[in-house]
Amino acid sequence: MNAAPVIPIRAASTGCSDAPVLRERGQREVFCGLTGIIWLHRKIQDAFFLVVGSRTCAHLIQSAAGVMIFAEPRFATAIIDERDLAGLADCNDELDRVVARLLERRPEIKLLFLVGSCPSEVIKLDLSRAAQRLSARFNPGVRVLNYSGSGIETTFTQGEDACLAALVPGLPATTAGAPIELMVVGALADVVEDQFARLFRQLGIGPVHFFPPRQANRMPPVGPNTRFLLAQPFLADTAQALQARGARRLAAPFPLGVEGTTAWLQAAAAAFGTEGQIFDAVTAPARQRATAALARHRAQLGDRSVFFFPDSQLEIPLARFLSRELGMRLTEVGTPYLHRSHLAEELALLPEGTTLSEGQDVEKQLDRCRAARPDIVVCGLGLANPLEGEGMTTKWAIELVFTPIQGYEQAGDLAELFARPLVRRARLARAPERPAVLQEVT
């Protein structure tokens, strides 16, 4: 079997490295950071997420997670009601009571997050001090931390960033003189994590730790000998916290598609001195499978136009993947925040002249989208139905966060997420119109 060619990390041109960015600061259409609980509570299997917020917060989490009435998930909401807002009850006493009841009922919990919300921040409830107080009370069995999931100034994926950044100060320190270790930072589906772990092992890269881990007692060590790869582009605060503890980030595109995954793995291979022939031999079978999977969707997606509304911060890596591996045309790529350092390798791979926007003024962006009439629009749930009603084909941005899309084996699945709405639209256009059926009212 001939090895597939290794794709260079940087393109020959500078792409959009120095491209101008339209910065907008108007009305936004995004979920809040509480949404991150939906995938985080599945990842850290003995953690519990207690939102300190309103009934609206509880409805949001339950609706987004699709929780059935008899399910027992590892998240809940401590409701701030009228008595709390009026100052008739001591919020800290109430919170202590709720936490005590929760831990008595769920003794398997080893890590408890107090998650701030818009209501708790409005009444200035100090969850940091509450976490310290409760952690001292329930140690060593339970560790209590806090982070903010408020959506006042953030987008929904920043909930994960805040959660992981809260964990960093408590990570164990690596021993002096220890060999270099790799940390993969960002919540990945278990199947994706297992695939990457196997590839790293075959490449001779290790020890390898994944952060967050599946169990609270398996937190990875960190120190000057730690090299870390970001698996998600929305982890700016986490990366800064790790670097403050001496860790060094390995610059790379993100592991989406064949090109991104190869370059991401190459960054780790270079740091650990893996020879090129070994890298080719280990990755060639997976690259060939992924390339074949993408070919099935290229005919459907090639030369189609796509417009990204800012939502998850995945927009730039996704745009690179769609453009370079599937031949799609980028009408506009909007993102909530553009971290130039973390996205430098991605920007260099975007086609020159791509329209980039940061932040949002939703009415202005809607006008640009309507004028462009793209083949597919990637946007939040709040915009999808109105745009569908105007005859546009849309893709829910949040689905790209909930679905395993990283790595070689998921490349075809990622392409299919964009092909599926176009296939649906084509089928609806071909379907014969059904005559209206009038029923007699008795």
Strand partners, 183: 209, 228
Answer for the pair 320, 260: CB distance below 8 angstroms, yes or no.
Answer: yes
- Which residue bears the tokens 């100034």? 153
pLDDT of 430: 75
* Calpha distance 247→183 (Å, rounded): 9
For the segment 128-157, the average pLDDT, to the nearest whole number, is 91
**pLDDT tens sequence across 219-250:** 999 999 999 999 999 999 999 999 999 999 99
For the segment 83-112, the average pLDDT, to the nearest whole number, is 83
Least confident of 2-6, 231-235, 297-301, 389-393: 2-6
For the segment 88-99, the average pLDDT, to the nearest whole number, is 82
pLDDT band at 442 (very low <50, low <70, confident <90, very high): very low
Length in residues, the chain: 442
Return the H-helix or E-strand segment holding 427: helix 411-430
Answer for the pair 159, 204: CB distance below 8 angstroms, yes or no.
Answer: no
CB neighbours of residue 22 within 10 Å = 15
Please state, in angstroms and as integers, the Cα–Cα distance from residue 413 to each residue in 301, 403, 417, 429, following that order. 14, 9, 6, 24
pLDDT of 332: 97
How remote is the C-alpha of 45 from its chain's centroid? Answer: 18
pLDDT of 11: 45
pLDDT of 438: 41
The backbone region for 349, taken as left when phi is positive above 0, alpha when psi lies in -120 to 50, beta otherwise, is: alpha
Q: Residue type for 199, please? A: L
pLDDT band at 208 (very low <50, low <70, confident <90, very high): very high
pLDDT of 433: 58
Looking at the chain, the whole-number percentage of residues with pLDDT higher than 90 is 71
**pLDDT tens sequence across 7-55:** 444 444 688 998 999 999 888 777 788 889 989 999 999 999 999 988 8
**pLDDT tens sequence across 169-187:** 999 999 888 899 999 999 9
pLDDT of 176: 80
Answer for the pair 199, 412: CB distance below 8 angstroms, yes or no.
Answer: no
pLDDT of 3: 40
Q: Which two tokens stand for residue 315?
A: 């927009």
Enumerate domains of the chain plus CATH numbers: 33-154 (3.40.50.1980), 181-274 (3.40.50.1980)
Greater model confidence, 97 or 428: 97
Answer for the pair 254, 373: CB distance below 8 angstroms, yes or no.
Answer: no
- Whether residue 166 is predicted with pLDDT greater than 90 in this model: the reply is yes
Q: Residue type for 75, please? A: F
- Whether residue 81 is predicted with pLDDT greater than 80 in this model: the reply is no
CB neighbours of residue 189 within 10 Å = 18
What residues form the annotated binding site for [4Fe-4S] cluster?
32, 57, 118
Pairing, β 181-185 against β 208-211: parallel
Least confident of 58-72, 79-93, 210-224: 79-93
**pLDDT tens sequence across 115-133:** 998 888 877 889 999 999 9
What residues form the annotated binding site?
32, 57, 118
Which pTM does this prediction carry? 0.90
Q: What is the CA radius of gyration of the chain?
A: 23
